[in-house]
C-alpha cells in the first residue's frame, strides 16, 4: 500500500510541478491501482512513473475544478493503448458523468473496455472483503469530497509449531484456517482457527481530501488515519486569503492531523507562488511546528503506508 504523487500544484501547472493527482498502489493487496483526481497532464506523468494503466481499477474525483479532472478524457481514451482493457469505475460529484460523456462524444473517442461512472453525495462508495471506501462533503466553493480508504483487518499468523503437532502442513488446510474455518486434522481431531491464529493485524487507513477549508468532515474522514493527504495551498500568513478562496494553510492541515490522531501527514496542492524548494520548505516547517510527522509530497516519490501498531 503506497502513495505516488503525479501532481502537487494548485490551480495551474508549473515547470516544477503538475496539477493534482495521486495514485494509491495496491499491488500486494489486490494487484491494482487507484487514482485520486486526474489533473491535466496526468497520463504524461504516468508515462514517467512505475505505474501501469493496465492496473488502473478506479478513479476517485474530489471535485469538478479543472486542475482536478481535465486529464480524464485523455487518460480514459489512451488507457486501452497501454494494456488497459479491464473495467474502470470513476467516482465523483454530480456533473462528472456529463463532463466525461460530452468530451468523449464530441471527440469521437472509442473505449473498448467497460467504463462505469458513479456520481455520489458521500457515504460508502465501495466495499469488498478487503477494502471499504467512504466519502464526505468538505467545505469548498463547489461540492468537494474527501475519501477515506479503510483496509479491513488481516488474519493473524498461523502457529506453525502447533499445526505441526497436529500433522498439518502448508496447503489447503492452512488457507481454511486463515479464513477462520475449522478443519479436521489427519488424526481425526477438529482444529478451530481461534486455537492456532495469532492476533489479527489492524488494517490501514488512508484519507485523501479534496480542496477544503478546515471543517468537521475533514476531521471525521481523517480520524486515526495512518496517512492523511491534506491540501496546504498557503502559508498561514495568508490565512485570510485561504479562507476567502476556500482553501487551507499548512498550519491548518497540521492542526487537523493532530486533532484527528493521524500517524503521517503529507502536504500537497501548493500555490504556484511557492516556486523554490526554500519556499516550499517553509510550508513544511510551519506544519511540523504543530505536527512533527508532516512532510511535503514530492512528485514521482513512493510513500509506503506504514501499519500502525496498537490500533484496536
Q: Name the binding residues for Zn(2+).
A: 63, 65, 67-68, 140, 211, 269
Residues across the chain: 312
Question: 96 near 65, Cβ under 8 Å?
Answer: no
Question: Looking up cell 492496473, which residue turns up?
Answer: 55
Residue 196, Cα to own-chain centre: how many angstroms? 34
| Joined grid coordinates for residue 198 | 495469532
- For residue 141, give the DSSP letter: S
How many Cβ atoms are within 10 Å of 281's Cβ, its own excluded? 13
| Joined grid coordinates for residue 134 | 467512504
Catalytic-role residue among 67, 128, 195, 244: 67
Residue 25, Cα to own-chain centre: how many angstroms? 8
CA nearest neighbour of 251 among 277, 282, 218? 282
CA nearest neighbour of 18 among 89, 79, 68? 68
With 0-12 CB in 10 A as exposed, 13-18 as middle and 19+ as buried, what is 119? middle
Question: 119 near 64, Cβ under 8 Å?
Answer: no
Q: Is 278 a catalytic residue?
A: no
- Active-site residue numbers? 67
Amino acid at each position: 500500500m503506497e502513495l505516488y504523487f503525479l501532481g502537487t500544484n494548485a490551480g495551474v501547472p508549473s515547470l516544477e510541478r503538475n496539477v493534482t493527482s495521486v495514485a494509491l498502489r495496491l499491488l500486494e493487496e489486490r494487484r491494482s491501482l487507484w487514482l485520486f483526481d486526474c489533473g491535466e497532464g496526468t497520463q504524461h506523468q504516468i508515462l514517467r512513473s512505475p505505474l501501469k494503466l493496465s492496473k488502473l481499477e478506479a478513479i476517485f474525483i474530489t471535485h469538478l475544478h479543472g486542475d482536478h479532472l481535465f486529464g480524464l478524457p485523455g487518460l480514459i481514451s489512451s488507457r486501452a493503448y497501454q494494456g488497459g482493457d479491464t473495467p474502470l469505475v470513476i467516482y465523483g460529484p454530480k456533473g462528472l458523468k456529463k463532463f466525461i460523456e460530452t468530451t468523449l462524444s464530441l471527440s469521437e473517442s472509442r473505449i473498448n473496455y467497460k467504463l462505469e461512472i458513479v456520481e455520489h453525495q458521500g457515504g460508502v462508495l465501495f466495499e469488498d472483503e478487503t477494502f471499504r471506501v467512504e466519502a464526505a462533503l468538505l467545505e469548498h466553493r463547489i461540492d468537494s469530497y474527501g475519501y477515506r480508504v479503510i483496509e479491513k483487518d488481516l488474519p493473524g499468523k498461523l502457529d506453525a509449531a502447533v499445526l505441526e503437532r497436529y500433522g498439518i502442513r502448508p496447503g489447503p488446510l492452512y488457507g481454511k484456517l486463515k479464513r477462520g474455518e475449522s478443519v479436521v486434522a489427519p488424526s481425526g481431531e477438529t482444529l478451530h482457527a481461534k486455537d492456532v491464529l495469532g492476533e489479527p493485524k489492524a488494517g490501514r487507513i488512508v484519507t485523501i481530501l479534496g480542496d477544503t477549508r478546515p471543517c468537521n468532515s475533514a476531521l471525521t474522514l481523517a480520524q486515526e488515519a495512518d496517512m492523511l493527504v491534506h491540501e496546504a495551498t498557503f502559508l498561514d500568513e495568508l490565512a485570510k486569503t485561504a479562507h476567502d478562496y476556500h482553501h487551507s494553510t499548512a498550519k491548518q492541515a497540521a492542526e487537523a492531523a493532530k486533532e484527528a490522531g493521524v500517524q503521517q501527514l503529507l502536504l500537497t496542492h501548493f500555490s504556484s507562488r511557492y516556486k523554490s524548494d526554500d519556499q516550499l520548505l517553509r510550508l513544511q516547517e510551519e506544519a511540523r511546528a504543530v505536527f512533527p510527522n508532516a512532510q511535503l509530497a514530492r512528485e514521482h516519490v513512493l510513500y509506503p503506508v506504514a501499519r500502525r501498531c496498537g490500533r484496536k
